[in-house]
Amino acid sequence: MSSERDFSDIITSLAKKRGFFWGPSPEIYGGSSGFYDLGPLGKLLKNRLENQIRSAFVRANFWEVECPTVSPAEVWKASGHLDGFIDPVTKCLKCGQIFRADNLIEEQAPGVKISGNSVEELTASIQMLNIICPSCKGGLGPVEDYNLMMKTRLGLDQDAYLRPETATTTYLLFKRFLTFFRDKLPMSVFQIGKAYRNEISPRQGMLRLREFTQTEGQIFLLEKDELEWPQFEDIKNENLPLITYQAQEKDKLDPVMTKMSKAIKEGYFQKPAYAWCVHLAYTIFRQMGFSEKNMRLRQHLPTERAHYAADAWDVEIHTDSFGWVECCGVHDRGNYDLTRHQEFSKEKLHVKVNQKPVVPEVLEIAFGIERPLFCLIDNSFQSESKERDTDWLRFPPEVAPIQVAVFPLMGKPELLEPATEIFNRILDSGFIAQFDTGGSIGKRYRRQDEVGTPFCVTIDYTTIEDGTVTVRDRDSMDQVRIHKENLVEGLKNLIRGTTQFHTFK
Amino acid sequence: MSSERDFSDIITSLAKKRGFFWGPSPEIYGGSSGFYDLGPLGKLLKNRLENQIRSAFVRANFWEVECPTVSPAEVWKASGHLDGFIDPVTKCLKCGQIFRADNLIEEQAPGVKISGNSVEELTASIQMLNIICPSCKGGLGPVEDYNLMMKTRLGLDQDAYLRPETATTTYLLFKRFLTFFRDKLPMSVFQIGKAYRNEISPRQGMLRLREFTQTEGQIFLLEKDELEWPQFEDIKNENLPLITYQAQEKDKLDPVMTKMSKAIKEGYFQKPAYAWCVHLAYTIFRQMGFSEKNMRLRQHLPTERAHYAADAWDVEIHTDSFGWVECCGVHDRGNYDLTRHQEFSKEKLHVKVNQKPVVPEVLEIAFGIERPLFCLIDNSFQSESKERDTDWLRFPPEVAPIQVAVFPLMGKPELLEPATEIFNRILDSGFIAQFDTGGSIGKRYRRQDEVGTPFCVTIDYTTIEDGTVTVRDRDSMDQVRIHKENLVEGLKNLIRGTTQFHTFK
């Protein structure tokens, strides 16, 4: 069965059927591409991922902020998005489909040089080169600038845009941060929130969205901090799976486990502070539950980098659906953004170093949450087998949407009462738990396997006699009886991974 | 000092100075009214409130979902917002200010009947009655329909709107919910997410925003469930501070503590399920940290209710800034919404009861998070006194932005090391903690008082000798020494309120 279907279809239909995500949304009105709903399990999973991200940033001394998702046009003029966040598009005069004009020309007339051309020049090229609609062979209309930001209006007449990332809104708070951090650099802040990109024709489901949840950590620091970064000491002996741009130029695409201290010595990273950020990004993804074997860190080729970026590395995750997926970027943004906002706002966005004004540098970790969410479902998928008559999800216990399920053997008051008490105790200790009374215990195990719940607890008549309950492990399908007084502590150790189930009593 | 300034100004300037919220945002570009940034402490506080809300909904058996904030126009046509979510506005031809036309006419020509008038009729009334700009006495332009939704565009030409509430997007998932809940009603879901209202001229800072975080819980149920709601049994003996509409008609505005069973018997509530929702809303606000004395539940007068609402009660919070503030609405929405979406989408949004299709009823709890966030800062404010030379914030420990601060007496390695170990242990147990090494311990206490941190832990040379640390209580300013091995458990009990500080050793 599986081999005949595209793996991404298997994951998507499983996700829809079991309540992870639905879409394109709104489904009952035909759907709008690039928009998805998170169902109950997808939302639990997303909350888990957000908590892991928060906890990793907070331990690395970042403070969280929340800025508006809608900002006036002048902000986006200053940031460069109004003029630069643009694709040239053309519409088929016959079937009405919209395409990126530059992509079409490059596909149909390889070798033609159009880089930097204006929309008028692109329109002329389309006519001259006889470029046609790839879908219906129709003629194409004039090329227009298409800004990827969604535009709206405040009050009656103020132009505003939905933010395409969170970074800009964070930078605007620079002066406030100086007060909050008592004028001491470096200052580290992060933001988790919605961002919007009006992609022409988004495909690949959850991987390319028009509305998504962006996470961005920013460090404001001086050039000297970039080179003398004390926290680098803590990670200098850690190994990361790196692919440098030099290796890529030699077609070596397998990551090489490299000690951080060596990566600095060899010049893979110029700046210890930046290297530390790459390591933090890697750590965040590990804490979201990705295994080392499915991860690699890839440096951008010099030609790939944004105009403002001195260096850029991506975290990539391997999936069965799409191969390697770019999930996170780590950027050395220099002082481009603050300089621009200083210029446009006329506010001083600098600190004094030896009595001279200096605009600080910025290092950034940026990623959307929906991609790792999809990749984690992909990576957790397990086919049905002769032991188990359903395909199931092997989520790491710390990020599983539901961590513990509680089953009273039957829906009778004498069992419901102790089961509810145990359920509440599990909730009190901070776990996400589900109470299920429907169907046979086997059927209930199966349902929990399908959504990746690592542990199930059954309360039966023996519980009333001797206070023990049955704990069942998803992965091994093994069961043990333990006393209910030891249950919460035991679950804690199992979920944190400090105890393995086979040693658990 | 305090008496000479408006209390809301005191709260707002404190909130800005200490990093709770900043705005109107973006400040460095002059600000756009109705938009605010949450600083590091405001974001911590908001996360706390969201966690309390989540936990209350989950325990009441609601599942969380997340829907897009942008939806195509047809959704808002069906929901009624495109035609009905409208204010008639007029612009001063001299100073350019914009006003609600109906309000101006009612103010300047009391008694004139304009209810239900078209924009043309309102324009005529303004000319006939000589209505002028209240600010500069200038003449007024033609009245226009002003939709309170923010409009945008998807792709090149699809009209879409930023949602003005979350409810509509939740209703669109009804068929998916039926599958997820295995076709069993009632089904309870909630959503926490951004919503947008393009208010003409938003005032009152954080209380009237153009972008805000809306929380909405929805129960889909049958009419018979509304009257036979088993969970009502759990709360029948609880007392709530009620003000019925009959009491308001008699000018009795003091809430009366009323037992829920009595409230049903007396007919204050027609439906036990609805009464249970009002109780749940009250519980959520209690868990966000509001004290009983600052809360009341006010029933809408029949004239106040929305067209679709069979009954409506508000949770109101008393503030020193603005008196009683409406913070949450509980609505009996009937089957209005599902019926509309069934009609417009042509999809079946019903269940079968005795083989006949029935569109379920909906009960709703709806509130924005920024209002309670502001009210909680207001309610927590304590003036400086002879004991304390700064004004401070008495946040309930469970929702305080920072719950524990950890201070090594000095920044020396022999103290930093055990302090870091204790700090990490506190973080591991799920608390929000801050590590502060700056300045004298007195200064550090002061800083934590200013942001409402209930407990501070100091590590000094005695800690190295005998393993004890000093715990200091914000409210009493008392200190005790306890062994570090008992610290986390002790803090847990203090923060949950199961131990009082004066009994704590």
How many CB pairs lie under 8 A apart between chains A and B? 209
Nearest CB to A63 within list B25, B40, B196: B40
pLDDT, position B5: 65
Q: How far apart are CA A82 and CA A80, in angstroms?
A: 6
User: Which residues face A482 on adjacent strands?
Assistant: A469
- Give the distance from residue B152's alpha carbon to the nearest chain A alpha carbon, in angstroms: 5
- Neighbour order of strands in the sheet with B70-72: B70-72, B158-162, B151-154
Q: Of the candidates B27, B345, B23, which has an alpha carbon nearest to the alpha carbon of residue A349?
A: B27
Worst-scoring range by mean pLDDT, A297-306, B209-218, B230-239, B486-495? A297-306
State the average pLDDT over residues A391-409.
Answer: 97
Q: Of the candidates B170, B149, B284, B164, which has an alpha carbon nearest to the alpha carbon of residue B212?
A: B164
Interchain proximity B146–A160, CB inside 8 Å: no
Contacts 24+ apart (CB under 8 A), A302-309: A302/A245, A306/A331, A308/A333, A308/A334, A308/A336, A308/A337, A309/A333, A309/A334
Output the CA–CA distances (angstroms, integers) from residue A148 to A87, A199, B448, in the order listed.
7, 6, 44
Worst-scoring range by mean pLDDT, A114-118, B60-64, B100-104? A114-118
Nearest CB to A65 within list B43, B146, B156: B43
Interchain proximity B66–A37, CB inside 8 Å: yes
- Structure tokens that stand for A285 in this block: 């993804």
Interchain proximity B162–A152, CB inside 8 Å: yes
Q: Give yes or no for residue B306 having a pLDDT over 80.
A: no
Interchain proximity B35–A68, CB inside 8 Å: yes
State the average pLDDT over residues B123-151.
Answer: 94
Most A CBs within 10 A among B55, B66, B189, B196, hence the mutation to make, goes to: B66
Q: How far apart are CA B341 and CA B334, in angstroms?
A: 14
Q: How far apart are CA B297 and CA B328, in angstroms?
A: 9
- List chain B residues with CB under 8 Å of A196: 70
Mean pLDDT of chain B: 94
Better pLDDT: A1 or A238: A238
Nearest CB to B211 within list A70, A75, A430: A70
CB B285, CB B291: distance < 8 Å: no
Strand, coil or helix: A450? helix
What is the Cα gyration radius of chain B?
A: 26
- Give the distance from residue B106's alpha carbon to the nearest chain A alpha carbon, in angstroms: 22
pLDDT, position A309: 75
- Structure tokens that stand for B319 in this block: 């503030």
- Give the distance from residue B73's alpha carbon to the nearest chain A alpha carbon, in angstroms: 10
Most B CBs within 10 A among A21, A70, A451, hence the mutation to make, goes to: A70
Interchain proximity A211–B68, CB inside 8 Å: yes
pLDDT, position B502: 86
- List chain B residues with CB under 8 Å of A162: 70, 152, 162
- Structure tokens that stand for A371 in this block: 């991609």
Interchain proximity B43–A32, CB inside 8 Å: no
Interchain proximity A22–B210, CB inside 8 Å: no
- Structure tokens that stand for A30 in this block: 């035909």
Q: Of the candidates A273, A278, A271, which has an alpha carbon nearest to the alpha carbon of residue A243?
A: A278
Interchain proximity A37–B198, CB inside 8 Å: no
- Structure tokens that stand for A343 in this block: 């210029």
Nearest CB to A155 within list B70, B98, B180: B98
CB B435, CB B447: distance < 8 Å: no
Whether chain B has a CB inside 8 Å of the CB on A173: the answer is yes
pLDDT, position A203: 76
Share of chain B above pLDDT 90, in %: 85
Strand pairing class (A455-459; A404-408): parallel
| CA closest to B56 among chain A residues | A427
Strand pairing class (B70-72; B158-162): antiparallel
Worst-scoring range by mean pLDDT, A46-50, B176-180, B249-253, B459-463? B249-253
- List chain B residues with CB under 8 Å of A32: 71-72, 154, 158, 160
CB A324, CB A318: distance < 8 Å: yes
State the average pLDDT over residues B448-455.
Answer: 97
Q: How far apart are CA B332 and CA B273, in angstroms?
A: 10
Q: How confident is the model at residue B413 (pLDDT cuts 50, 70, 90)?
A: very high
Q: Give yes or no for residue B1 having a pLDDT over 80.
A: no
- Give the distance from residue A17's alpha carbon to the nearest chain B alpha carbon, in angstroms: 8
Q: How far apart are CA A21 and CA A35, in angstroms?
A: 10
| CA closest to B154 among chain A residues | A198
- The distance between the two most distant Cα atoms of chain B, rounded to a whole number of Å, is 87
CB atoms near residue A218 (< 10 Å): 27
Q: Give yes or no for residue B3 having a pLDDT over 50.
A: no
Q: Give yes or no for residue A449 having a pLDDT over 70.
A: yes
Nearest CB to B155 within list A46, A47, A98: A98
Q: How far apart are CA A429 and CA A418, in angstroms?
A: 17
Q: How confident is the model at residue B200 (pLDDT cuts 50, 70, 90)?
A: confident
Helix (H), strand (E) at residue B419: helix B413-428
Whether chain B has a CB inside 8 Å of the CB on A147: the answer is no
pTM: predicted TM-score of the whole model, two decimal places: 0.95
CB B290, CB B375: distance < 8 Å: yes
Nearest CB to B28 within list A64, A65, A172: A172
* DSSP secondary structure letters along B148-209: SSPEEEETTTEEEEE-S-SHHHHHTTHHHHHHHTTT-S-EEEEEEEEEE---SS--SGGGS-
Mean pLDDT of chain A: 94
CB A374, CB A11: distance < 8 Å: yes
Q: Of the candidates A321, A369, A367, A285, which has an alpha carbon nearest to the alpha carbon of residue A43?
A: A369
**What are the tens digits of pLDDT across the range A93-149?**
999 888 889 989 999 999 888 888 899 999 999 999 999 999 999 999 999 999 999
**What are the tens digits of pLDDT across the range A1-37?**
344 469 999 999 999 999 999 999 999 999 999 999 9
Whether chain B has a CB inside 8 Å of the CB on A176: the answer is yes
Q: Give yes or no for residue B327 having a pLDDT over 90.
A: yes
> SS3 letters for A304-354?
HCCCCCCCEEEEEEEECCCEEEEEEEEEEEECHHHHHHHHHHCCCCCEEEC
Nearest CB to B154 within list A26, A65, A198: A198
**What are the tens digits of pLDDT across the range A417-444?**
999 999 999 998 889 999 999 899 999 9
Q: How confident is the model at residue A88 (pLDDT cuts 50, 70, 90)?
A: very high
Q: Of the candidates B142, B16, B48, which has an alpha carbon nearest to the alpha carbon of residue B376?
A: B48
- List chain A residues with CB under 8 Å of B28: 172, 175, 341, 345, 347, 349
Interchain proximity A29–B172, CB inside 8 Å: yes
Whether chain A has a CB inside 8 Å of the CB on B447: the answer is no
Interchain proximity A162–B152, CB inside 8 Å: yes
Q: How confident is the model at residue B464 (pLDDT cuts 50, 70, 90)?
A: very high
Q: Give yes or no for residue A57 having a pLDDT over 70.
A: yes
ipTM over 0.85: yes
Worst-scoring range by mean pLDDT, A53-62, B83-92, B315-324? B83-92
User: Which residues 198-257 of B are in CB contact (within 8 Å) with A?
Assistant: 198, 200-201, 210-211
- Give the distance from residue A37's alpha carbon to the nearest chain B alpha carbon, in angstroms: 5
Whether chain B has a CB inside 8 Å of the CB on A175: the answer is yes
Q: How far apart are CA B79 and CA A328, in angstroms?
A: 38
- Give the distance from residue B27's alpha carbon to the nearest chain A alpha carbon, in angstroms: 8
Whether chain B has a CB inside 8 Å of the CB on A21: the answer is no
CB atoms near residue B372 (< 10 Å): 28
| CA closest to B200 among chain A residues | A155
CA of residue A191 relative to chain centroid, distance: 13
| CA closest to A402 among chain B residues | B63
pLDDT, position A4: 46
Q: How far apart are CA A288 and CA A53, in angstroms?
A: 7
Give B107's contacts (C-beta < 8 A, 6+ positions apart).
B134
Alpha helices in B18-100 (DSSP H): 40-59, 73-79, 81-84
Most B CBs within 10 A among A59, A153, A154, hence the mutation to make, goes to: A154
pLDDT, position B132: 94
DSSP secondary structure code for residue A66 in this structure: B
User: Which residues 456-485 of B are in CB contact (within 8 Å) with A?
Assistant: none
Residue B256 phi, psi (nearest 5): -115, 120
Q: How far apart are CA B423 and CA B433, in angstroms?
A: 7
Whether chain B has a CB inside 8 Å of the CB on A345: the answer is yes
**What are the tens digits of pLDDT across the range A267-325?**
999 999 999 999 999 999 999 999 999 999 999 998 877 766 788 999 999 999 999 99
Q: Give yes or no for residue B203 having a pLDDT over 80.
A: no
Q: How far apart are CA B60 and CA B57, in angstroms?
A: 5
CB B60, CB B119: distance < 8 Å: no
